[in-house]
Amino acid sequence: METVEWNEADQVVIGQSTLDFSDKKIACLGDSITQAANLESMEDYQQYSYPTKLAEILGAEEVVNLGIGGSSIGRYWQDAFVDRYMDIPEDTDLILVMGGTNDGFCLHRENVGNFEERSPRTLIGDLNELMRGLKENYPDAEVVFVTPLPNVLHDILRKDRPELMSQRVIVDSMIALAREYEFDVIDLYDSNLLDSHDAAVISNYMPDGVHCNPDGYRILAEHIAADLIRLQDSQDVEDGEEFREAEGMEMEAASEQGMESESDAGQNMKSEAIFDQNIESESDSAQNMESVETSESAENTGYKEVPDNIGKDENLEDIADSQDIVDSENIEAAENIDDSEDMTDSRDITELEAEEEFKSRIPIDILKFRERDTAQDRDLIDMEAKKMNEEAADAQIQKDMTMEVGSYG
């Protein structure tokens, strides 16, 4: 999707949203793109920055711009994010971290690091420290990482300096770690939004191929705002599914408990019927005993002389009636459970259709992140880093050999 098409879709999402951000405090940690440093020559230039525009679009209570030109995520350049994230106010509700552009300009392939060691002053090590710090120090805040926009300048630099790390590695490392820390990601890199490889983008929105003009920052802000809305909507869907799942479990437990109660009630009715009939049987026995002429004969014969069928047949009828009641109640309870299961199945199908329909409206830059396999990402990143190091070493050997041959020439 091209920038204009993206922007049209984003504006529709924003226009239809009913979410309320009026009590939200937002902090934007970033570099010169967050700061809008390229517009410093303009009066009150930060009014054009994406954080300021974001506040206007969402109607947020407050947005703090923590962008510093030239800064990187890790400690291999100045004003590293990992060294200044604590500048974020403690009462922040939403933290946006957009970076990686300058990392691509300065980071050597050998400084990628790996997911096992996560050493300081490597991309993975410092990015991991940043995320861990945000998780521990801002436990109540929602944290969203924003991958860097693809820029043509990085590709030009890599032609002369092949040892520079590719943006792809930076993006994949950010996404893999964010997934581990359960942070959402807005993936600008794979969105084709404001991609400076497109001449029309440079002409209309990014004159230097890296930084936006006022129109470009507005489009960037609208996209981030729309994706925040999409993320919140998708979270509401997930929360709703979890609630309905819990509700279904409660209904099932209640049905099972009701069935047990009805069964117990039936058993109680059965016991009471037997007890009542035994009393009647004993009463009949007493009357038979009174009809005997002598007390001794009555004493000797008593209850034993009561015919076997007296009382017992009636007892069996009561037991049968009681069992019919229990069976009827059990059948009714089972039918209720079946109805409940049918309702659950119907609800599951409806939710599944709703989820698929909703997913069809979520941009690929969010879905791609959510469907990634972290372990696989890590392996690919480590393999790519290893491959790049080997290629860099081979290139250096070829360069040394060329210089050596030249010295004899």
Give the torsion through C-alpha atoms of 391, 397, 398, 399, to 10 deg.
110
Burial 329-341 (b: 16+ CB within 10 A, else e): beeebeeebeeee
Quick one: 103 and 172 in the same domain?
Answer: yes
182: which residues sit within 8 A by CB, 6+ positions away?
Answer: none
Please indicate, yes or no, if residue 216 is contained in any of the structural domains: yes
State whether 156 and 204 are in the same domain.
Answer: yes
Share of residues in the chain with pLDDT > 70 (%): 58
Q: Which residues are CB-neighbours of 95 under 8 A, at least 6 positions away?
A: 26, 27, 29, 88, 134, 138, 141, 142, 143, 144
**Reduced 3-state DSSP string for 191-243:** CCCCCCCCHHHHHHCCCCCCCCCHHHHHHHHHHHHHHHHHHHHHHHHHHHHHH
Residues 221 and 271 in one domain: no
Whether residue 205 contacts residue 379, with contact meaning beta carbons closer than 8 Å, is answered with: no
For range 284-291, the mean pLDDT: 46
Distance CA 263, CA 318 (A): 17
Q: How far apart are CA 382 and CA 380, in angstroms?
A: 5
Average pLDDT of span 284-296: 44
The answer to the question of residue 252 being in a domain is: yes
Q: Is it the case that residue 336 has pLDDT exceeding 50?
A: no
pLDDT-based confidence at residue 110 (cuts at 50, 70, 90): confident
Calculate what percentage of the chain has a pLDDT beyond 90.
Answer: 51
Report yes or no: 225 and 54 within 8 Å, Cβ to Cβ. Answer: yes
Tell which wins on pLDDT, 201 or 273.
201
In a domain, 352, yes or no: yes
Q: Which of 109-123, 208-222, 339-353 has the highest mean pLDDT?
A: 208-222
108-117, 169-178, 398-407: which has the minimum mean pLDDT?
A: 398-407
DSSP 8-class letter at 189: T
Q: Is the dihedral of CA 306, 309, 312, 314 positive or negative?
A: negative
Question: Which residues constitute the domain of residue 321?
Answer: 244-359
Q: Looking at the structure, do residues 256 and 397 belong to the same domain, yes or no?
A: no
Task: Please check whether residue 408 lies inside any domain of the structure.
Answer: no
Strand partners, 164: 108
With a cut of 50, say whether residue 300 has pLDDT above it. Answer: no
Residues 268 and 389 in one domain: no
CA pair distance 317, 315, nearest whole angstrom: 5
Same domain, 150 and 86: yes
Query: Do 249 and 167 belong to one domain?
Result: no
Residues 173 and 37 in one domain: yes
pLDDT of res. 76: 84
Q: Is residue 409 part of a domain?
A: no
pLDDT of the residue at 190: 94
Evaluate whether 106 touches 57 at the Cβ level (below 8 Å).
Answer: no
Q: What is the arithmetic mean of pLDDT over 31-42? A: 97
Q: Does 287 lie in the same domain as 192? A: no
Question: What is the count of structural domains for the chain?
Answer: 2
**What pLDDT, on the 0 to 100 scale, is given for residue 304?**
32
Maximum distance among all Cα pairs of the chain, rounded to whole angstroms: 147
Which of the four pLDDT bands, split at 50, 70 and 90, describes residue 408?
Answer: very low
Dihedrals φ, ψ of 62, to 5°? -160, 140
Domain of residue 386, CATH code: 3.40.50.1110
Are 208 and 253 part of one and the same domain?
no
CB-CB contact of 80 with 51 (8 Å): no
Name the least confident of 210-224, 257-271, 350-364.
350-364
DSSP helix/strand/coil, 65: strand
**Whether pLDDT at 350 is above 60:** no
**Banded model confidence at residue 311, pLDDT cuts 50, 70, 90:** very low
Percentages of the chain per state (helix, strand, coil), in multiples of 5: 65, 5, 25
Least confident stretch, 18-27, 58-67, 253-262, 356-365:
356-365
Residue 331 forms part of a structural domain: yes
- Range of lowest pLDDT (19-23, 50-54, 116-120, 259-263): 259-263
Confirm whether 217 is domain-assigned: yes
User: What φ, ψ does residue 80 adopt, rounded to 5°?
Assistant: -60, 140
Q: What is the dihedral of CA 169, 170, 172, 177, to 10 degrees?
A: 130
pLDDT at 28: 99
Q: Could you tell me if 202 and 349 lie in one domain?
A: no
Same domain for 106 and 204, yes or no, is yes
**Which letter, b or e, does each residue of 74-110 get, where b requires 16 or more Cβ atoms within 10 Å of its Cβ?**
bbbbeebbbeebeebeeebbbbbbbbbbbbbbbbebe
Check if the beta carbon of residue 74 is closer than 8 Å to that of residue 122: yes
In terms of Cβ atoms closer than 10 Å to its own Cβ (0-12, 13-18, 19+), residue 248 is middle
- Tell me if 104 sits within 8 A of 153, measured CB to CB: no
Specify the pLDDT at position 126.
97
Q: Is residue 406 part of a domain?
A: no
Amino acid at 303: Y
Residue 27's SS3 state is strand
Sorting pLDDT into bands at 50, 70 and 90, what band is 372?
A: very low
Contact 306, 278 (CB under 8 A): no
What is the rounded average pLDDT for all residues in the chain?
A: 75
> Using CA atoms, how far apart are residues 127 and 381, in angstroms rounded to an integer?
14
